[in-house]
Amino acid sequence: MRARVYRVDREAPDPEVISRAAEVIRAGGLVAFPTETVYGLGADALNPRAVEKVFRVKGRPPDNPLIIHIASFEDLYSVAEEVDWRAEKLARRFWPGPLTLIVKRSPRVPDVTVAGLDTAAVRMPRHNVALKLIETSERPIAAPSANKSGKPSPTLAAHVLQDLGDEIDLILDAGPTDIGVESTVLDLTSERPVILRPGGVSREEIEAVIGEVEVHPSALGLLFHSGESPRSPGMKYRHYAPAAKLIVVEGELEEVRNAVASLADLLMSRGIRVGVLGSDGYSYRADIVRDLGSRSNPLEAARRLFVSLREMDEEGVEVIVAEGWEEEKGIGLALKNRLRKASGGAVLRADWLLRALKTSPSSVYTEVMGT
């Protein structure tokens, strides 16, 4: 059956619609709902069969833990066995909001929800529809992004319908999300906190509350190859990826733009349908160009990223060449992470690429296209 879609007011959602969605959650069904970051695919976090549906519908690897969403600070104690001073201070400061805290799990949380780990990832979303759904369900809700695993995360209900419309029960449509990239994930189970995934709360904001934190290499967009189980979504696998091949070009901005333009020209000369993901209104020649906006406004760039990647897929682009994002402060780190992860590690330095395009364009074409 096709999912039922209900349009709801984000500030004052219809209680009757929320009650219908909550009934689906309590019955072990799946509900897609908006948060301030992206749309989530929700199930009762304490119901193993319901959570197994989430993994099955998304095609999500079973060792990739889910984030548990709660509606009040007190709910944290229902899913966590230990809550230290750092978790309390951060939750009081940033919840509701785009910060996920990894804490020691409560025994009542099923293994499947946390991928067999002794920890749980928990957050309180800053969105009235999400909070009302959790409150009315009277359940913590496990919710990864509401898309097929590996694809760009959904920032519109239409994205959810496109990916999962025939496999879930209900979608709550409250319009576009605010932030456009997922929450920051902070591991509090070690002596020094570690950012496992950058997102809507920056390293600088966290350090202003609890002092110095570390940044895991995977937070820089480096693929996580360790045999250790990932403690957070987004660490181990290629994520956020369009169907098109994505090439990210990094380096000094002027060189980046020259390299992006030259690579796009090369690919189009070989009959490839090319998209370019740029910024600052810079003019590129390509089949499709999408602009993330001013580099002085990374929040706007974050809001545009996933929808731009999806639009390029809809236009039948074969290769996307993207300006890299070097800024590692604020949400700039999240943009760098998402672009690198979406490329699956296909990141080229602009200075190298410009030299290679001059000396051996055929070799560049072969490397980019994998032929």
Res. 156 pLDDT band, cuts 50 70 90: very high
Question: Has residue 228 got a pLDDT over 60?
Answer: no
Q: Considering only residues 230 and 290, tell me which one the structure prediction assigns the higher pLDDT.
A: 290
CATH 3.40.50.11030: which residues of the chain? 245-369
Residue type, 368: V
∠ CA 179-183-184, nearest 5°, is 125
- The predicted-structure confidence for 158-207, as pLDDT tens digits, reads as follows 999 999 999 999 999 999 999 999 999 999 998 899 999 999 999 999 99
Res. 225 pLDDT band, cuts 50 70 90: very low
Q: Mean pLDDT in the chain? A: 94
CATH 3.90.870.10: which residues of the chain? 4-220
Neighbours of 62 (CB within 10 A): 11
Helix (H/G/I), strand (E/B), else coil: 251 = coil
Residue type, 136: T
Neighbours of 366 (CB within 10 A): 11
Domain 245-369 belongs to what topology? Rossmann fold (3.40.50)
Burial of 20 from C-beta contacts in 10 A (0-12 / 13-18 / 19+): middle
CA distance 87 to 251: 37
Q: Determine contact, residues 310/302, Cβ cutoff 8 Å.
A: no
Q: In the CATH scheme, what is the homologous superfamily, with its name and number, of domain 4-220?
A: DHBP synthase (3.90.870.10)
Q: Determine contact, residues 69/135, Cβ cutoff 8 Å.
A: no
Question: Has residue 127 got a pLDDT over 70?
Answer: yes
Using alpha carbons, list the distances in angstroms from residue 223 to 138, 181, 237, 326: 37, 18, 7, 17
3-state secondary structure 167-236: CCCEEEECCCCCCCCCCEEEECCCCCCEEEECCCCCHHHHHHHHCCCEECHHHHCCCCCCCCCCCCCCCC
Give the mean model confidence (pLDDT) for residues 41-64: 97
Note the residue count of the chain.
371
Q: Determine contact, residues 117/104, Cβ cutoff 8 Å.
A: no
- The predicted-structure confidence for 282-324, as pLDDT tens digits, reads as follows 999 999 999 999 999 999 999 999 999 999 999 999 999 999 9
Q: Determine contact, residues 173/155, Cβ cutoff 8 Å.
A: no
Question: Has residue 1 got a pLDDT over 90?
Answer: no
Buried b / exposed e over 345-364, threshold 16 CB at 10 Å, is ebbbbbeebbebbeeebeeb
